[in-house]
Amino acid sequence: MTFQKLKEIQGHSAGIYTLEFSENLIYSGSSDHFVARWKVYEGIQDKFSIRFENPVYSIRLFDNATKLAVGLANGDLHFFDLKDRKEIKYLVQHKKAIFSIMENSFSHHLYVADADGNLSVWDLKSFELMAYFPFDCGKIRRMMVSSNGDKLGLACQDGNVRILETKNLNQISNFYAHKDGVSSILFHPSDHTILFSGGKDAYLKKWDLNSEACLKSIPAHNYAIYDLIVLHKGNTLVSASRDKTIKIWDLETLDFKDRLDLKKGGHRHSVNALVPISASTFASASDDKRIIFWKSIL
């Protein structure tokens, strides 16, 4: 399987850290303090943008993509109604940068993780704080909810992967995965006992959560792996790295398929975020201020 560049979008004045997609719209959050929205197929910005007092480190669409959560570098958390184009809630719970936000549509909870290793859990109907966990594990850079909503995975700077069951929020697994820290995490889309992780050590690993055994370990990149996605209805795993490259893997075997770099019109700096667009397309964002769209050609 190989990919080609479809188009790119330029509009931010600083690095882009986070992406979200819904229908024909892609949302981006940047260290230029803006959340912007773009029309994917036209490749242009629409009239929606929000400016903050601090860099934007994480965003998350929720409530069937009708609302948007935004986490900032100072720990502030903002919520917006996209239809009415207004802020509906502003929360101050975290004191350090919010690196990851995840929705659990089954429990109607929102999970928020920060640079100090703290996890907060919010009720999305009332915006009440349900739980707060100071894991003291360093930065929690990424989180992931299993597709059936029963597990929450945390990628922690102390090198450990932590797994919580989401009904009672008990920790059910905690194992050492990567030297110098875990920087990305992903549940298998159909087998929730299988987890993928990427580390600051540049390794991509596949885990059996039942035994906490590493099923496969690959020196996948030259530097930290910042994001992992699976293309919908496909057998394709995509990894993004600080080494400026994106790589394509077979989901089951982790066999290498393709490398997307500057020679293919790719990024000039660290690739920070990925988001699926369709079964065969995805978008990437980088410190080079660009969003690039990629499509499978085989």
Write down the pLDDT at residue 298: 72
pTM for the full predicted model: 0.96
pLDDT digits (tens, 9 = 90+) for 5-24: 999 999 999 999 999 999 99
Instruction: Compute the mean pLDDT over every residue in the chain, rounded to the nearest whole number.
Output: 96
Write down the pLDDT at residue 41: 85
Write down the pLDDT at residue 233: 66
Low-confidence ranges of the chain (pLDDT < 70): 233
**3-296 CATH:** 2.130.10.10
pLDDT digits (tens, 9 = 90+) for 146-180: 999 999 999 999 999 999 999 999 999 999 999 99
Write down the pLDDT at residue 1: 77
The string of DSSP codes covering 78-141 is EEEETTTTEEEEEEE--SS-EEEEEEETTTTEEEEEETTSEEEEEETTT--EEEEEE--SS-EE
Write down the pLDDT at residue 205: 98
Write down the pLDDT at residue 148: 95
pLDDT digits (tens, 9 = 90+) for 52-73: 999 999 999 999 999 999 999 9
